[in-house]
Amino acid sequence: MSDSGSHSAAPGLSASSAGGTWRLAIQGMSCASCAAGIEQALSRVRGVTAQTVNFASEQAIVRGDPRLVNPQALIRVVEQAGYRARLVEDDWQQSDPDDTERIAQWVAERELKLKVAIGVGLSTVLLIGSLPMMLGRKIPGLPPWLQDPWLQLLLTAPVQFWVGQHFYRGAWAAWQRRSADMNTLVALGTSAAFFYSLLATTFPDFFHRQGLHPDVYYEVAAVVVTLVLVGKWMEQRAKGQTSEAIRKLMGLQPKTARVIRDGVEQDIPIAAVQVGDRIRVRPGEKVPVDGVILEGSSSLDESMVTGESLPVSKSAGDEVIGATLNQTGSFVMEARRVGKDTLLAQIVRLVQEAQGSKAPIQQVADRVTSWFVPAVIGVAILTFVLWWGLAGNPTLALVNTIGVLIIACPCALGLATPTSIMVATGRGAELGILVKSADSLELAHRLRTVVLDKTGTLTEGRPSVTDIWTPGSSPLALLRLAAAVEQYSEHPLAQAVVQKAKAEGISIPSAQHFQAKVGEGAEAWVEGQQVRIGRLSWLQAMGIPWDPSWSERVQTWESQGKTVIGVAQFHRLVGLLAIADPIKPTSPAAVRQLQEMGLEVILLTGDNPTTAQAIARQAGIRRVIAQVRPEQKAAYIRQLRRPRHPVAMVGDGINDAPALAEADVGIAIGTGTDVAIAASDITLIASDLRGVVTAIQLSRATLANIRQNLFFAFIYNTLGIPIAAGALYPFTGWLLNPMLAGAAMALSSVSVVANALRLRHFRPSPLAPLPEAPSPPAPLPEGEGS
């Protein structure tokens, strides 16, 4: 009968089975190499089938056989690798699911701030005391005791071994894994400066016998440790903002609900609300859980969940979403979904999983970081050998070697992709766009074709009977006969027939032996007579003769964009029904903007060519593929896909599931809480095509942001390491001070995270108003529209 199925309740938004998925919060990671090491350790656990460790979110998502995998065993493996881990419980019923994590982060940040403060204080004293040596002249008024190497040793030791203990622990853990990471570089570089200075302090005569002055570099060790730690602190604060969208979503949940039990209204904690409870919602209050209105009516602000800015009118029988704001009226609702089953809880869970996933573009950074640290250590050794060999000065060789070790920054590479993904998926959730995984977000920017379903996607999804025609009986008698069959079907067109009959006050009789013919129609026995209702082509295929005199009427209706269905009694066609489903007011502008973005838009529908082309003209779509059965849509999507030509399918996610799964990017478009994403990659909570435009724009903005981050990270390391090694010295006589190298290294990670945070302010491009007299669409290609 039509191309799209009914909007029945869909499966939950969770992208994975809770029984076989565990989420771990991990502390102690310092760079992408740490994440890679933890992934390798988890992969060796028996029963684990997939594992992803996200350096930016400091979380691991592990999937496996729950009969073989013990969460405590996963924690032990992470701890044996040198990190701290805890299981993140998926318990939405508690008042704030993020409390434990926030407390742990607060404790860690407090300790980090204390170390930074002490490091800055001691390093400042050391830096002042070393100014005469760095400047090569005495400074009037500077106390001589500040230059005493024994005092400098006393001031440096706490910075090196307490403030910087994190680097030693991380380096030791990496050594146990037979690997190296950023901690290794910092520990090697600062230890070289510290122990060289210690040797010069305790055995100055040895240096004099070698013809060298026993210079000390305590300030280098202390300042570098402090600067790197300051950078980590700034990085942690910036990374904390990447999860702001999740915290905002969690904060939307009301704390209490006014439940009516035994005729008494009482406020109870939200965790105590049960399915079936009757709840009163007053003006200005938030809807506590998902449900349906039983009494009353109101206007609700759903922008915090769906992204829709205009209030939505609701009355008895309408579904309401938890966490949305009741504006004007008062109503009584019945709780249908509570706790972790509410739409809000499922959105949070889906966004968390998307933020923990890896985009394909991240594989480039992962491959580089796998050999980056060993390569830097090799360059540092080569730098030391060359400078000592060519300049004959071990002190100069040591200073340049320290610079190489300190300036190299695998952190910037590791943060380049995941921070952008985290911010983008969170921002998408705020706009009513739920991205299932990072690879879906990345692929969307390369789309070349967008295929649209008609009913509920391009149109309102609320068809209504507009015309009834029968030559032999009254229109109401024909409508009564049709409604008797269609009352057992969930198809939108069938529901339109039933609603029309009810509106006319018709008493609908019962039917027997009902059978639905998918994509064609339905048949049943009504009052002892066999009745068929459905496509005219199907009725003719069933042997029911067609009266040519009816063709003109059918063509007139179809040219108006109406779907025409026939009603047959026994083997005789007794009448026709015309059903119209108007396109959404925003669809033409959204289609035009997709086309202006360089995308080909195709209408894929089960309607006949005349009706499909009429709808396409209204929407501004130039290419139509009509008369496609639901099971054939996936095959058409497969034909449209070509190398370097990704295709997106936009549908309601239920009957269109095979096509959504076949497309490179499946986009499920929902109406209120009817959100089905089992086969989709991206879900739009609001039933508005503008969400498709926003999703693609967000993908393009995200990939541009990631490329900026990767470019900066690669360029920084490509230029910084040779400069630290002294590559400019033969031409300019300039050498990089290790303290400047430490500052550059600290700022590199912060700058990458700061750039990613710009995505928090992403705004979709506004839709331009449609011209008053749009130009006619281009002619359809040969062979299409049929």
Place of tokens 């490179």: 664
Tokens of 742: 């430490």
In whole angstroms, give the CA distance from residue 526 to residue 774: 48
What pairs with residue 98 in β-bridges? none
- Is 453 known to be catalytic? yes
In whole angstroms, give the CA distance from residue 769 to residue 747: 44
Cβ proximity of 625 and 635 under 8 Å: no
> What's at 34, amino acid-wise?
C
Q: What is the largest CA-CA distance in the chain?
A: 122
Residue 230, number of CB atoms within 10 A of its CB = 21
Q: Which residues contact 408 (CB under 8 A, 6 or more apart)?
A: 185, 372, 373, 376, 717, 720, 721, 745
Tokens of 470: 């029968």
Residue 327, number of CB atoms within 10 A of its CB = 14
Cβ proximity of 436 and 354 under 8 Å: yes
404 closest CA partner among 428, 373, 429, 431: 373
In whole angstroms, give the CA distance from residue 206 to residue 394: 13
397 closest CA partner among 408, 385, 414: 385
What pairs with residue 265 in β-bridges? 260
Orientation of helix 738-757 relative to helix 690-725, angle to 10°:
180
Tokens of 475: 């229109």
Tokens of 173: 């853990």
In whole angstroms, give the CA distance from residue 146 to residue 578: 95
In whole angstroms, give the CA distance from residue 94 to residue 314: 29
Tokens of 645: 């030509």
Cβ proximity of 652 and 456 under 8 Å: yes
In whole angstroms, give the CA distance from residue 706 to residue 449: 24
Orientation of helix 587-596 relative to helix 609-619, angle to 10°:
80
> What is the pairing mode between strands 647-651 and 290-296?
unpaired
Tokens of 329: 């009226």
For the range 470-476, what are the long-range contacts, defined as Cβ-Cβ under 8 Å and sequence gap of 24 or more? 470/567, 470/574, 470/575, 470/576, 471/575, 472/574, 472/575, 473/574, 473/575, 475/575, 476/504, 476/506
Tokens of 506: 């018709």
Q: Which residues contact 351 (CB under 8 A, 6 or more apart)?
A: 245, 246, 249, 425, 426, 428, 429, 434, 435
CA neighbours within 13 Å on the CB side: how many for 438?
A: 23
Residues shown for the chain? 786
In whole angstroms, give the CA distance from residue 763 to residue 151: 56
> What's at 616, amino acid-wise?
A
Note the helical H segments in 583-664. 587-596, 609-619, 633-640, 657-662
Tokens of 196: 């060289």
Q: List, as one string, the DSSP characters of 724-761.
A: HHTTTHHHH-----HHHHHHHHHHHHHHHHHHHHGGGG
Q: Catalytic: which of 3, 290, 439, 453?
A: 453
In whole angstroms, give the CA distance from residue 275 to residue 284: 23
Residue 128, number of CB atoms within 10 A of its CB = 15
What residues are annotated to the active site? 453
